[in-house]
A and B are shown apart, each in its own frame.
Chain A
Amino acid sequence: MKSSSKKVLLLFGGGASLLDRSGKASEVQNAKDVHAWLRSIPELSLIASVKPMFLYSETSFDAYPKWWKTIAQTITERFKDYDGFIVTQDVDAIPYTAAALSLMLRDIGKPVIITGSSLQSHKSSKAGGSANELAEIGIRANLVNAVQVATLDIGEVAVLFGNRLIRGGNIIRHTTSSLNIFESAGDSVLGRVDFGLKIESNRKKRTNTPPMLSTNLKTRILQMTMIPSAVFPALPDLSAQKIDGIFITGHASFSSEALSRITSLAEKHKIPVGVFVESPIGYSKHFLVVSNMTPIMALTKFMWVLGQGASLFEMQKLLETDIAGELITPNTRRR
């Protein structure tokens, strides 16, 4: 079969729980589990030659950035050896990982598909109920679909879950009993699971261009939410805390007193401040305006931009540059 020559690297980073044929939960908790787990899904070999690589099974929220770097470096080092890459992740981690990899693997010419299982990790040996049945349908189908996408003509980071393939930097999670637990914030559904897998013309096409690997992030971010007329508590000792940046979300009014107080204090400590607004309402020389992207991408891109070691002006320019299709224009914004 023509497809058997395609090579796909499957990186395990959590989210790889599935029910075996007897209904028992099976998951990859360490490198030793990988081959038995893969043997329980032999059908993947009909689509491509899948090479597994264990990275981690569970990790704390704080450790995410470390693993993003590892994943990005692993993919870059092996770029020439594979036709596509799959990264399994816990559902909670997927939006962050997708945002980070989109930036870290800028202009990658091959597919990097993030997927996972909505089955809970460490599930009791016998799972049941409609939610788990749905999840079980989901993970096997997600994997089959992800391997297929990893062989197709697509060159970017994307998330495959349920019956949609969505650009990595544009996903938002929503509460639903559907398998489509992610949706696109903009016009960035890149493919659909129809009777076959149909990819859309708006996806970036496959090339042999390796990514511009850029893994530096500043991760010690103080995040504050601004609410009209709210009184800000005293700021922590910024220098003692070794804060890299302050990220402000909420209904930020650029002329608010609270914002002035924060920015002047931050300026004294040479700490950049980013203000996230959905659509830009102007600019300021005192802080960075982060806009036209999902909240998760906004925070991730703020961390990434701080990591590029640029001036405030250059950082603002980078925030406005569409690195990986993450910018949502008014025309493409989902209402």
Chain B
Amino acid sequence: MKAYYYTPETSDLAISKGYTIIRGVLERAGISVISKHESLEQALPENYKQVEQQGRSPLEYVDAIIIEGTDADSEVGYLLAYAIAQKKQALLLLRKGKRSRNPLTSFGRQSLKNLKVVYYDDTNAERLVITFLRTLGDISVKEAPTIKFTLRITPVIERFLHWKTHNTQMTKADYLRNMIEEAIEEDEEFQKYRRRSTEE
């Protein structure tokens, strides 16, 4: 899956940090990330000749456009307009607390079916990007564990974890996280709840 990831020039460190977090999520999800710094030939080795010959926009050949548009420049408006015109899936991320205006407030729902606008900070950026990526298809991505949690366990559980993980690359914490993630995936009620809260 290919995504064009656009970030305007900024001198704001918090916004720059957001750029890095978002790019990290995309890469961990196995997305082939194209940025403004790449040439057409580098970005689309299989399609660039077609782009030239048929007069098409290279954006037609990506699955999604992802924009961190807090410090918006004219390119942000252009990319959003392109996404609407060509019904391209797009995600506009705006950093919380930066007084950035959602440029799509006056648009009807119909125009925005393919366009998602979210406000993010360091704690939820990953979840928001992953949620969007999941709407594009079968994306397998794990959020980086960032929340510290102390858990007291019994000696039996400890012996069990040791038995399951020794001579493997996995840590005891990895094993527990995987078990919980499997439980999440299998829990239909929780999935419904999660979908509802995302739509809101």
List residues of A whose CB falls within 8 A of some B CB. Answer: 1-4, 6, 21, 41-47, 134, 137-138, 140-141, 143-145, 147-148, 151-152, 161-164, 177-181, 193-197
Contacts and interface: CB of A to CB of B under 8 A. Distances in A.
A194 B38 CA distance: 10
Given A42-B111, A144-B82, A163-B51, A47 B74 contact: yes
Q: Is the interface of B mostly helix, strand, loop or mixed?
A: helix
Nearest to B71: A2
29 contacts: A1-B77, A1-B101, A2-B73, A3-B74, A4-B77, A42-B106, A43-B82, A43-B85, A46-B78, A46-B103, A46-B104, A137-B86, A144-B78, A145-B57, A147-B81, A148-B74, A148-B78, A161-B55, A162-B54, A162-B55, A163-B52, A163-B56, A177-B54, A178-B55, A179-B54, A193-B58, A194-B40, A195-B34, A196-B36
A251 to B, nearest CB: 32
Interface of B: 4, 6, 34, 36, 40, 43, 51-60, 72-82, 84-86, 101, 103-104, 106-108, 110-111
Most-contacted residue by chain A among B36, B43, B51, B55 (CB, 10 A): B55
Contacts of A164: 55
Contacts of A4: 77, 103
Contacts of A163: 51-52, 55-57
B86 A195 contact: no
B74 to A, nearest CB: 4
B75 A43 contact: no
A144 B101 contact: no
B56 A3 contact: no
Contacts of A42: 84, 106-108, 111
A197 B72 CA distance: 16
B60 A47 contact: no
A1 B81 contact: no
Nearest to B60: A137
B13 to A, nearest CB: 20
Nearest to B80: A46
Most-contacted residue by chain A among B4, B6, B54, B58 (CB, 10 A): B54
A143 B52 CA distance: 19
Nearest to A143: B85
B53 A178 contact: yes
Given A163-B51, A181-B55, 14 more contacts: A2-B73, A2-B74, A3-B76, A3-B77, A43-B85, A46-B81, A47-B74, A134-B54, A152-B74, A162-B54, A162-B55, A162-B56, A194-B58, A196-B79
A195 B56 contact: no
Contact of A141 (B57, B74, B104): B57
A179 B60 CA distance: 13
Nearest to A44: B81
Contacts of B60: 137
A42 B76 CA distance: 15
Nearest to B102: A1
B55 A151 contact: no
A3 B84 contact: no
A151 B82 CA distance: 15
B5 to A, nearest CB: 10
A269 to B, nearest CB: 47
A81 to B, nearest CB: 20
Nearest to B103: A1
B192 to A, nearest CB: 31
Nearest to B39: A194
Contacts of B80: 43, 46
A193 B103 contact: no
A179 B56 contact: yes
Contact of B72 (A2, A138, A143): A2
Nearest to A148: B78
B81 A43 contact: yes
* 6 nearest A-B pairs in the assembled complex, by CB-CB distance: A162-B55, A180-B55, A179-B55, A43-B81, A43-B84, A3-B74
A305 B186 CA distance: 79
A78 B73 CA distance: 26
A197 to B, nearest CB: 7
Most-contacted residue by chain B among A143, A161, A195 (CB, 10 A): A195
B112 to A, nearest CB: 10
B53 A43 contact: no
B54 to A, nearest CB: 5
B72 to A, nearest CB: 5
B37 to A, nearest CB: 10
Nearest to B4: A195
Nearest to A193: B57
Contacts of A140: 85-86
A317 B41 CA distance: 44
A3 to B, nearest CB: 4
Contacts of A162: 54-56
Contacts of B86: 137, 140-141
